Structure 1
Amino acid sequence: MTKQRHKALSLLGMAMRAGKLITGDETVLKAVRQGKALLVIMAGDASENTRKKFQDKCGTYSVKLIEAFDRVTLGEAIGKSERVLMAVTDAGFSKSITQSLTQPTEVEYID
């Protein structure tokens, strides 16, 4: 696992302890609909039904959706059992986690 991806997991754990993370299918869906979710993280091993449902909902409500890790890794990051969906409700955590998961890990060659 790259350093950046490890950082994202650490940030998820901190967000959970700070009370800025929502987990579970229905509670995440509710947060998206209410405009509380700023970022939704979905496990890479989510079912096709769940994947489509949240891609559609996040697209409709303009919430960033990132597919990363697997359900076991996401659960361990926050000290819980397996988790497929998480919603971050804090702007700072959302920005930091997004950067950690989307930044290129390789340094580009500069002429």
Structure 2
Amino acid sequence: MESKQAVLNFLGISRRANQLVSGEDTLLTEIRSGKVHFLFIAADAGAATRKKFLDKSNYYHVPVNSMYTKEVLSNAIGMKRTIIGIKDPGISKKMIELTNRIKGE
């Protein structure tokens, strides 16, 4: 399976497993409390939103993937979203591995 599609498949699995966090305020709270282990920021997110979440994720050492558009991320989880956090450490570890593989391709 292609790595880019595998990331989206795991994102869908995360949603079904109730391991996603979305919504700006909720996501910021969860990042601060250490409950988010991986973050998706849509490539076409607004500049202010992108900066806010990149700064927060850098400070709290949360890996970020920003290679997908809002539309692709939304289709993967069945909800319109620009920023998505993954709570499960195991799924997050797999996302990091797949993201690194994509960067190496």
Name the TM-score, length of structure 1 as normaliser: 0.86
Deviation at 1:24, TM superposition (A): 1.8
* Root mean square deviation of aligned Cα: 1.3
Partner Cα separation in structure 1 for residue 45 and residue 38 of structure 2: 17
Correspondence for 2:82 among 77, 81, 84: 84
**1:21 is the counterpart of 2:16:** no
**Which runs of at least 4 in structure 1 moved beyond 2 Å after TM superposition?**
none
**Higher helix proportion (structure 1 or 2):** 2
Instruction: Give unmatched runs, 5+ long, in structure 1.
Output: 106-111
Residue identity in the other structure for 1:87: G
1:2-35 CA-to-partner distances (Å, cap 9, x unmatched) read 8100000000000111011111222111110111
TM norm structure 2: 0.91
Look up the match of 1:62: 61
Q: Distance in 2 between matches of 1:100 and 1:3?
A: 10
Larger radius of gyration: 1
Q: 1-side partners of 2:62 and 2:6: how far apart?
A: 22
Name the amino acid aligned to 2:35.
K
- Matched residues, percent identical? 32
